Every structure is written in structure tokens, then in C-alpha cells.
Structure 1
Amino acid sequence: MNNGRFFQRSNRRNISILRRGFSCAGTNRLGSQFGGTYLNTAQKVEQLLKQPVAELGYELCDVEFIKEYGDWVLTLYIDKEGGVNIDDCERVSRAVDPLLDEADPIEQAYMLSVSSLGLDRALKKDADYTRNLGKRIEIKLFAPKDGKKEFKGELVSFDETNVVVRLEKGELTLERKAIALARPELIF
């Protein structure tokens, strides 16, 4: 399946990259494996790798499949208690490589990147909000609420429709669909 690959470390961020150059003919086998429903590439990969990554002691927090500078890049964002370092990224990369080769979920050549979440990673999923309960976050809204579009405070709670943050003057409830960006507040 693979007709060439190389491993490199990137100084740009705490990741390991595995270059995958291969071509595959035929259909994507994940369609039948996961009930035959259409899922985008990132969702397919997340379903395939979530459990194996968890068995290594990491949480697979997010998967992105995007084109960067003309190359397709599959990025796995991982986390664990105490944080993630380059050795963790390399361990996950080496463990998932044969699984990706066997399942063959991506038709074109791509680079595999395994990364920590980063300090300012956007809160997208419930798991992201759960990880940040009791911590300070910053929120930017699409449209102003009470004359403001930006808020900073402690994440108190959330559900499928709302996020509650504790500000200096009390608690504020915001609709999740009104939030353009939520992320951990960086305090230096």
C-alpha cells in the first residue's frame, strides 16, 4: 500500500509528522464498516482511531483533514492528564499508522500530524467544554450582547444550547449558536 514514507520532526509546534505517499484504488472500506452512512474523512478517522488512542492512555480530542500549502494533512489532536509532549505524539503516530494503512480511509496522499491541543485551542465539542469547566475562558460572539462581543470569565456550566460563565459582576448565560469563538484564556 505504501510506496514511500519518511518521518520528520517539526520545530513549528509539538508534533510528529509521518509522510504517507500512497495511492489506493477501489472504494473506501469504512463506509460499510460504520453502517454504510456517509461521514466526512475526519469523522471516519475519528471513529476508527478514538478507541485505539484511548487504549494508549490519550484522548483523541479532534481530527482535521485539510489542505495546507498544496498538501493534504490529517491532524490528530490528542491530550492526556499532565499534558502532551513530542514523545507522546510520536507514540500515537506510530500506533495509528498501521491502523490507517489497513482501513485505508483516505484516497489521496497525505501527511499524518499528531499534535497536542495547544494552549489556545478553540472549544468546539462538549469534551472541550468539560475539560475547561472551572477554568477561565474567553468568548467572542457573532453579535453583541449587552453592547459587548467579548467576554472573559470562569466556565461554570454548559449544555447543548447554552454556556454559563462567571464574570466579575455575576453569571452570564450565552447561547452556543451565538458564540463565534470560545477558548481558554491565556494568562501570562
Structure 2
Amino acid sequence: MSTVTDTVKTLVEPILDEHHFFLSDIEFVKEGGSWYLRVYIDKTGGISLDECVLVSETLSEQLDQLDPDPIPQAYFLEVSSPGAERPLKNEQDFANAVGDYIHISLFKKQNGKKVFEGHLKTLAPEQLTLTINDKGRIHDQDFLRSDIASARLAIEF
């Protein structure tokens, strides 16, 4: 359903630009027999519930005005923050996360593990470096970006 997400992206980006918000992700998925259009937005310092409502109402009005309707089936529109453990999906997400505590999963084991958490120390086109606290032993570890299956912000305990 990429045409739905492409259409929504085209509509929502000017709304977000006007308010100095940014788009984190868009999903159009079927769950339990119902369709959901989820738009994840954010801004520096975090997004508020009132700001999500503002974007939801404006986007909903614009979607209702399109003819033909780009989403012929019934759906629920949800506009929200990507959350505290938001995925890092694009270059801007990674750049914004430098210095933050993140969780990465690898396609294959490195040093006997596929999952790592640490502070994102450096970011380069081909690799990133995490500062990892391994049972009190703090060290930097490099990862090829092509080896990373997924990444997200994490909460440090």
C-alpha cells in the first residue's frame, strides 16, 4: 500500500513544516480486521498530545477533500509520537541519536552476540561506534552499518 503512504506523506509534510514538526514514520496496516493509518510525528523537545490532535484534524480534513479517495476502505487515523524507544530508520534519525543510548540488532553475531546497547558515540556513512558498559567494563565497539538489522532508541537502566 505504498501509494497510500506516499499520498499521506505528500499531504502531511507541509502541515508539519508549518509547525516545525518532522515526520518520523507512516504505516498503513491491517490489524484484527481493521485498517490503521498511523502517522508518527515529533519535534525537538518532544511532541504534545495537542500537537498530535492539530495534525490529525488538519490531515483528516485534507484526506476527506481528495477525489478520488486515496483510501477506499474504512480506516482509523492515528497521529502520535514515535515513543521513547522509537526506531532509527533513516540518516536523520541516526544523526539525531548521536550521544543517546540505543539498541541495535545485527543480522549475524559479532563477538558471539546479535544484540547490543550503548551510547551512540560516532556515526559515519559506513559504520557507527557504540560506547558499551559490559558489566562495568566500558569500551567502544564499531559496527558496520550494513550489518545492522534494526536500531532504536533505548531506555538505560
TM over 0.5: yes
1:83 to 36, 43, 46: 46
Structure 1 residue 122 corresponds to structure 2 residue 92: no
Task: Summarize deviations over 1:43-73 as a string: whole Å, max 9, x none.
Answer: 3311331122221231111101001211111
Q: Percent identity, please.
A: 37
Equivalent in the alignment of 1:15: none
2-side partners of 1:108 and 1:158: how far apart? 42
Equivalent in the alignment of 1:156: 121
Structure 2 unaligned spans of 5+: 133-137
Equivalent in the alignment of 2:13: 50
- Moved segments of 4+, more than 4 Å: none
Structure 1 unaligned spans of 5+: 1-37
Deviates more, 1:42-51 or 1:92-101: 42-51
Equivalent in the alignment of 2:144: 175
Q: TM-score if structure 2 supplies the norm length?
A: 0.83
Alpha-carbon offset, residue 171 of structure 1: 3.7
The secondary structure found in structure 2 opposite 1:123 is coil
Deviates more, 1:51-60 or 1:62-71: 51-60
Equivalent in the alignment of 2:31: 68
2-side partners of 1:145 and 1:169: how far apart? 15
Residues 187 and 153 of structure 1: CA distance in aligned 2, closer, same or farther (over 3 Å): closer
Matched-pair contact (CA < 8 Å) for 2:106–2:115: yes
Equivalent in the alignment of 2:155: 186
